Structure 1
Amino acid sequence: MSGLRWLISVLLLALSAAPLAAAESEHGKMEGVGDFEIPEWFKVSFLNLPEDVKEAGQADKNLLLVWYQDGCPYCERLINTNFSQKGIVEYTQEHFDVIALNLWGSRTVTGLDGGSLSEKALGKRMGVQFTPTLQFLDKQGEVVLRLNGYYPPEKFRTALQYVGEDAFRNQAFSAFMKANTPEGGKPGKLLAEPFFADSPHDLSEKKGPVAVFFEQRQCPDCVRLHEGILDDPRMRELLEPFHVVQVDRWSEDKLVTPGGKRLSARQWGDELGLDYVPAMVLFDRGEEVIRMESLFKGFHVRSMVDYVASGAYRDQPRFQRYIQARSERLMEEGQTVDLWEKN
């Protein structure tokens, strides 16, 4: 009898383990996770930002805050691609003291107002939604430029020069970027998509979500947006609830914004402070919810669209929390989440 009981126990254990093994095998995986280490030449700081600003000024430098999070693929590109180039490193070291801050970190920071709080709390207070986010501070401790996301090396070098050469004192970053970025890509008209609404645009009348794509001619990154992201059936499905428009960032053609202002596309882009092209700005109920204004891959762009279309932003104001939950849900459904899609 004892042998029979043992056999039955083994069979029951095998049967109970089979669904678990199947569930594990069907669980999706995550790819494209970033792998990087903070450079040794970044400043070793006591995280007293007023003191850091003062010390940078005494060395005739500005302060640069680099917000990151572990596993971030865009942070990996910033660290391993941009900050591996000798010219960028030398220019940065000459003009900036650089401090790395963990968006979810628990270290105590003395903020610019003199108050003490954790890195995580400071990131929330400063509205950091993406990593990397870079904040350039002048010698008085004012943020004079902010990069929300990853800029490839050439555009990143231009951003460094904008602050390092004090161009921010008399010129908007969008104008400086346009004047100092070589054009390329396909000439002629903007690239079209069948779901773009016909102009003229009156966005003040739209009750549902609105997606606005700011682009320009001869723009390699715009080509990648269309061929790598907008052509994806998953993206097109997510955009279905939206009224989707495309505007030329530098056009003088008039439109009516979701807030009811009649402006040219150029004026509206300036008012929004758009420095990177292409940019995607998502609105709901006439208010901006979130924007893409740097280099993003497909998964993160689709997540932004879903964040607005689903209304999740109303319950979860921190996009990074939402995107973590979305990744887990997709993997539970057996899908592969690729943070750095080949597009």
Structure 2
Amino acid sequence: MLQALTILSLLFLTDFTMAASEDPAELGAGLQNPGYEELPAWFKTSFLDLTEDVAEAAAEDKRVLLYFYQDGCPYCAKLLRDNFTDREIVELTRQGFDVIAINLWGDREVTGLDGKTTTEKKLATLLGVQFTPTLLFLDEAGKVVLRLNGYLPPHRFAAALRYVAERHERTGERFSEFYVRTNPREAEGDLHQEAGFLAPPLRLGDNRRKSPRPLVVMLEQPVCRECDELHQDVLRREAVALSLAAFDAAIVDVFSREPLQTPDGRETTGRDWAAELGIEYTPSLVFYDTQGREVFRTEGYLKAFHVQGALDYVATGAYRWQPSFQRYLSARREALAERGIQIDIMR
């Protein structure tokens, strides 16, 4: 029995290694490696000449971030799902770095910083990469400024981005010292639940056929500081809560594989529906009329004034006659000012 189990284990490892060494683009149309995770579209499409990449980044006052990954790596998936959908992280990364993804087992040709040609997997060996994800932050000379061996949660990862992008290593301050000094805030890590919201399994199409109220779907994820702020602050404000009372509401995890029914009656999962909707940031609020048609959405970071404005914009039907949400908000603020009510829109 032990011998049989050993043989099966070896076969499994051999199959996994063979699959991991293949490039998903070479597996044929519609085929992907098990565990493949799509990279953000804004990662750099590089010819993998690292000297050239470093020079191009420096010319734009950026630095290069090498991201070593492998398909089937759960912490690579977590990095892409939790970190690279966080609005602050995306903005920090796009402003300060050119991100180049390198497959730990890949065979693509790479020209290293020494000018020598190698492959992705050999480069990983040369750089001592043993874990995925491994992230190497390079300065303008191609020197490693900071190395992250493994996954960091969003608040720590954002601090690492700021440390390198702001060139704090030049002051002699270590990243650990910078992190303690800046003391970033950690996300809750749980998908929020709200009393009175539609409960899973979500049957949003059935809800549209029965309810006379519009629907707001809050597309979120568990590790999301802006989602925490939405539920712990914004939705707790009396004025926002009153506006929300005009809606049916549901929370959808953008990475969930649990089945749900969309407002137009189709069967899918939270993950697939979020991809279909093109959701890139959380939380995003998508609004539907009583017929299950999308009529409006918000995808940026919003304070209470704007969230309440979005709710009222849909609930009153103003979107039908005023296609510009910004004009609607301006008129709303002016009307309040005429009544002597001053609003701090960033509070």
TM-score (norm 2): 0.48
Greater RCO between the two (CA within 8 Å, min separation 6)? 1
